[in-house]
Amino acid sequence: MQALAEVSTCPESPEETAERCAMQWLEAGEAEAFQRHTSECSHCAEVLAEYAAFARLLRSALDEACRVSS
């Protein structure tokens, strides 16, 4: 299955790439490429938005836990 010419191809696993991107586990170049891809691909943009929201929640939960235990 080929993507449209103007849209770069989706990563093999958009979910995994989005998770790694949201958690800032990707190499700088990989993150940049994936972010460029999400500006063209609504599916990956949606997946990334979900993981980004989850990552924010996770971070605020961690912050909260640190404040409570200190």
State the residues that interact with Zn ion by CB under 5 A.
Answer: 10, 41, 44
> From the CB of 66, what's the least distance to Zn ion, in Å?
35
- Is there a contact between 40 and 7 (Cβ–Cβ < 8 Å)? yes
CB-nearer residue toward Zn ion: 36 or 59:
36
Q: Helices in the chain by DSSP H: which ranges? A: 14-22, 28-38, 42-69
CB-nearer residue toward Zn ion: 3 or 58:
3
Half-sphere exposure of 19 (CA within 13 A, CB side): 4
> From the CB of 30, what's the least distance to Zn ion, in Å?
14
